[in-house]
């Protein structure tokens, strides 16, 4: 199960990296339209779903409290992403026109995106450590020399 945890952690990281690409697509689309951001919005929901799945897999793998917390951290951070965009919109912004205070609020969305990326990297590293520790403890994981049955 810990190998599955490593795979789901890698998927979370891949999803976050794809989100940066999709954010670039939305930011650099001309003319600026709401549709340019639709893939980025859908990607955020995909990252959220992957992070939820990853947290469940971490718990099933009995990865330890700190490691499970790292797996769950992107969930809260992605929710914060939605809050930042919603707050910017509540202050009068639109997906195609942000100036003044709404611009400075939504700019925190990019900073938080970097935090999500860091959490995904830390989660993958923790998953790999948990899998390596489990393999080292199992007696059937003892490496054999070449040619020795």
Cis peptide before 143 (omega within 30 of 0): no
Q: Average per-residue pLDDT in the chain?
A: 90
d(CA 81, CA 43): 12
Could you report the per-residue pLDDT of 53-72, keeping only the tens digit for each? 999 999 999 999 999 999 99
Positive or negative, the CA dihedral 59, 130, 77, 40 is negative
Per-residue pLDDT at 108: 96
CA atoms within 13 A on the CB side of 129: 12
End-to-end CA distance of the chain: 27
CA atoms within 13 A on the CB side of 120: 27
């Amino acid at each position: 199960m810990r190998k599955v945890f490593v795979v789901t952690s890698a998927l979370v990281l891949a999803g976050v990296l794809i989100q940066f690409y999709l954010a670039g697509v939305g930011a650099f689309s001309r003319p600026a339209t709401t549709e340019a951001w639709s893939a980025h919005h859908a990607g955020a929901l995909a990252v959220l779903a992957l992070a939820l799945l990853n947290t469940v897999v971490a718990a099933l793998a009995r990865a330890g409290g700190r490691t499970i917390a790292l797996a769950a951290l992107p969930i809260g951070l992605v929710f914060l992403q939605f809050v930042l965009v919603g707050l910017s919109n509540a202050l009068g912004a639109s997906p195609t026109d942000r100036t003044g205070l709404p611009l400075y609020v939504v700019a925190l969305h990019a900073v938080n995106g970097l935090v999500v990326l860091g959490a995904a990297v830390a989660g993958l590293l923790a998953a790999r450590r948990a899998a390596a520790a489990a393999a080292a403890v199992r007696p059937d994981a003892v490496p054999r020399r070449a040619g020795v049955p």
